[in-house]
Amino acid sequence: MTRSKFHHYVPRFYLDKFSDEDGYIWAYDKFKDVAFRVMPENIAGENKFYELSDFQGSNIDPQELEKQLAGVESEASKIINSWFYQLDSYDKNIVEIPAINREIMSLFLTLQMLRTVTMRNQFIQFTKAIQKSGLIEKSYDPDQDANAFHASLLWDDDLVKSVANKISDCIWVFAHNNTDNMLYTSDHPLLIKAADSKNWILHPQVFEPGMYIVFPLSPDWIMYCHDKSSHWGKMAKFNNSISPVVFTSYMVDHENSGQVGLSYRFVFSNTPNFEFAKMFCELHPEIKDPKRKHYEWRTRD
């Protein structure tokens, strides 16, 4: 039986959309402040990232989670390819998304939000902060078996279904970047923006009123999922369509700021131009640390 050793937390098929003519992508390492060229299969993952050692010797495959994620990726890849066919044809502004495809993509987007090393570390930090507060019993250490802890969240049907249903109920809009400024992606590519469009939300708060999801599809295309129960409801007529808003370089920089700021360590592009990423890191040096704290329990004086 062929077993996968290197587990992507950002799918290879997705990274391929940001590759250059030779099939490579450019990566910027925030921690080391260096850019390098790499094949998509060798980045945005870790060895045995989803391997569940507790299942060794049992009837359950230790790579069951990795296999389940790969199955969702396979379906999502076909759907996204169909989107690109429609987006690039420009015959009409509507993107045909059958109900079953919307259901699959909502699940894919949910899992992409929850599966990254950024989110794993955030979950661990949050749990440890709550344990320190005494609000929950410290019966285990999430650092001891991070894979199993992460899997318990990805296999939480109530959590995953509720988030996927919320995403499915959003207004899906596609926007075209026709500037010379390319959209980045990263090792934590699916982001949430607050209702005021100014602040990025690291936590998976899809139920925040007025929030919207931002997901770059390629250097030229980006997807938004707007909370229709808020003021964004007036955009309902643009559901499953191409936005009439003309992208500017400033808008690209704004979207790229989220990829740089909320990535764990790596930012990706189809070109070696990371001047904006470097500048943003200089302005916010704290984002260069992959182990930076997101949660800390503080007692009141």
141-193 tens-digit pLDDT: 777 788 998 999 999 999 999 999 999 999 999 999 999 999 999 999 999 99
What are the backbone dihedrals phi and psi of residue 160, each rounded to the nearest 5 degrees, phi first?
A: -65, -45
Torsion of CA 33, 37, 42, 45, to 10 degrees: 30
E strand or H helix at 205: none
**Token pair in block for residue 257:** 């700021």
E strand or H helix at 161: helix 157-168
Say what the pLDDT of residue 138 is.
64
Query: By the 8 A CB rule, do 118 and 30 touch?
Result: no
Mean pLDDT is highest, among 58-62, 117-121, 230-234, 254-258, for 254-258
For residues 46 and 135, the model is more confident at 46
- Residue 13's nearest CA partner among 22, 23, 3, 26 is 23
Query: By the 8 A CB rule, do 136 and 142 touch?
Result: no
The DSSP call for residue 257 is H
Rg (CA), the chain: 19
Q: What are the beta bridge partners of residue 267?
A: 28, 186
Say what the pLDDT of residue 83 is.
97
Helix, strand or coil, per DSSP, at residue 293: coil
Query: By the 8 A CB rule, do 51 and 7 touch?
Result: yes
Residues whose CB falls within 8 Å of the CB of residue 108, separated by 6 or more in sequence, listed in order: 72, 73, 75, 76
Does the structure show a pLDDT above 50 at 299? no
Mean pLDDT for 261-278 is 97
Residue 243 binned pLDDT confidence (cut-offs 50, 70, 90): very high
Extents of the domains making up the chain? 6-286
Residue 139 binned pLDDT confidence (cut-offs 50, 70, 90): low
Q: What are the beta bridge partners of residue 34?
A: 29
